Amino acid sequence: MLRCKSRVCWSVVLSLKLASVTDLIVWCDVVCRVVCTAPHRLRLSFFLCRTVDGTSYLVADFTLQCGSEEWNKYLPLAIVAVLVYPIGIPCALFIALYRVRRRLKHPHVQMSYGLAYEAYLNEYWWWELIDMTQKLFLTSLLGFFPASAQCGVGMTVCILYLLALLIADPYVRRIDDRLCCTVEVSHSLSSQPASL
Return d(Cα 187, Cα 156) in angstroms, integer: 10
Inform me whether the pLDDT recorded for 10 exceeds 50.
no
Element (H, E) at 42: helix 40-44
* Same domain for 12 and 107: yes
Say what percent of the chain tops pLDDT 70.
75
Higher-confidence position of 90 and 192: 90
Write down the pLDDT at residue 139.
84
Report if residue 104 sits inside a domain.
Answer: yes
Q: Which residues pair with 65 in a beta bridge?
A: 57
* Same domain for 93 and 12: yes
- Tell me the torsion sign for CA atoms 134, 123, 120, 170: positive
Question: Considering its fold, how many domains does the chain have in total?
Answer: 2
Write down the pLDDT at residue 87.
87
Q: How many residues does the chain have?
A: 196
Report if residue 65 sits inside a domain.
Answer: yes
* Same domain for 42 and 111: yes
* Same domain for 106 and 26: yes
Q: What is the mean pLDDT of residues 74-103?
A: 90
Return d(Cα 7, Cα 25) in angstroms, integer: 21
Exposed e or buried b for every residue in 173-183, given b needs 16+ CB within 10 A? Answer: eeeebeebbee
* Same domain for 118 and 171: no
Q: What is the mean pLDDT of residues 21-25?
A: 58
**Total-model pTM:** 0.70
Domain limits for position 172: 145-196
Q: What are phi and psi of 140, to 5 degrees?
A: -130, -50
Write down the pLDDT at residue 27.
58
Write down the pLDDT at residue 39.
45
Judged by average pLDDT, the poorest of 12-21, 64-73, 115-124 is: 12-21
Over residues 168-180, the pLDDT tens digits come to 999 999 999 899 8
Over residues 108-145, the pLDDT tens digits come to 999 888 888 999 999 999 999 999 899 888 888 888 89
Count the neighbouring beta carbons within 10 Å of the beta carbon of residue 67: 11
Higher-confidence position of 17 and 23: 23
